Amino acid sequence: MYGKGLLKGLWITFKHSFEKKDLVVRYPEQMPHLQERFRGSLAFDFEKCIACGICIRNCPNNVLSMETAKDEDSKKKKLMQYTIDLQYCMFCNLCVEDCPTNSLYFTHDFELSQFHRDDIKRVYHRPPELDQQEAAQKTSDQDTQTAADDKKEKQLRAMINAINKNPQKVLARVLDGEEQVEVLAAVLMADEKKLARMAEMMITDKEKAKKVALAFVKKELKEREKGGDQ
């Protein structure tokens, strides 16, 4: 029949107009459900920033800028002020992606309109407590670090000595087969660097040491076979 489709369309819209309208979020009263990776506004964590400037170089719209000063004693760049001019931001995520310390991130705050243009700009000044904190940390840091370094050094030397003295016994901790242990010992004796590395690994990470040791053994055995053939 002519016009059947028209009636069908009318019936569909008629039905729709009496359906429950729960697709709509009544926004100011009812906040919308935002997805986890939603890019609302760009925020900055001053404490994490190392003033590397990757974000500024990455930004296509020159949204970001910072002011740095040289620290007298450590000759390190020190961040004084960080500015996000959000009106030019296109939320491309390039700064956030490349920040090595995750000091830039997107928040879910999407209500960005302001009455004045200057209010759109976000300026982060160096918080004074950061300087104090840093000064305090510097002194305590140096102490703990030197102590830790000393301890590590001692352990390493002790391990190398132990391997030198009694390779069979010490290396059995890493490898199982007697033959393999013998091969490994031979390799390590021949190369001082490999020995040091092995020792360090045995202190810090035994699993890794095992893998590396196996690799060493395999390589050595192969070379030996080749030599035998010749």
Task: Report, in Å, the least distance between residue 20 CB and another protein.
Answer: 9
**Strands ordered across the beta sheet of 64-70:** 64-70, 77-85, 121-125
Radius of gyration of the chain (CA): 32
Report CA dihedral (136, 138, 143, 147) to the nearest 10 degrees.
Answer: 130
Give the per-residue contact string, 10-49, with another protein (x = CB under 8 A; - = no): x-xxx-xxxx-x-xx-x-----------------------
Closer by beta carbon to another protein, 26 or else 193: 26
Neighbours of 89 (CB within 10 A): 19
Task: Report, in Å, the least distance between residue 116 CB and another protein.
Answer: 23
Closer by beta carbon to another protein, 21 or else 70: 21
d(CA 22, CA 181) in angstroms, rounded, equals: 71
Task: Report, in Å, the least distance between residue 24 CB and another protein.
Answer: 5
Return the closest-CA partner of residue 50 out of 75, 74, 76: 76
Closer by beta carbon to another protein, 5 or else 128: 5
Task: Report, in Å, the least distance between residue 4 CB and another protein.
Answer: 14
CB 66 within 8 A of CB 56: yes
Task: Report, in Å, the least distance between residue 19 CB and another protein.
Answer: 6
Closer by beta carbon to another protein, 19 or else 72: 19
d(CA 173, CA 187) in angstroms, rounded, equals: 16
Beta strands in 5-103, from DSSP E residues, in sequence order: 41-44, 64-70, 77-85
Closer by beta carbon to another protein, 9 or else 177: 9
Task: Report, in Å, the least distance between residue 14 CB and another protein.
Answer: 7
Q: Which two tokens stand for residue 31?
A: 């906040």
Closer by beta carbon to another protein, 23 or else 135: 23
The C-alpha angle 156, 162, 166, rounded to 5 degrees, equals 155
Q: Residues in the site for another protein, rule: CB under 8 A?
A: 6, 9-10, 12-14, 16-19, 21, 23-24, 26
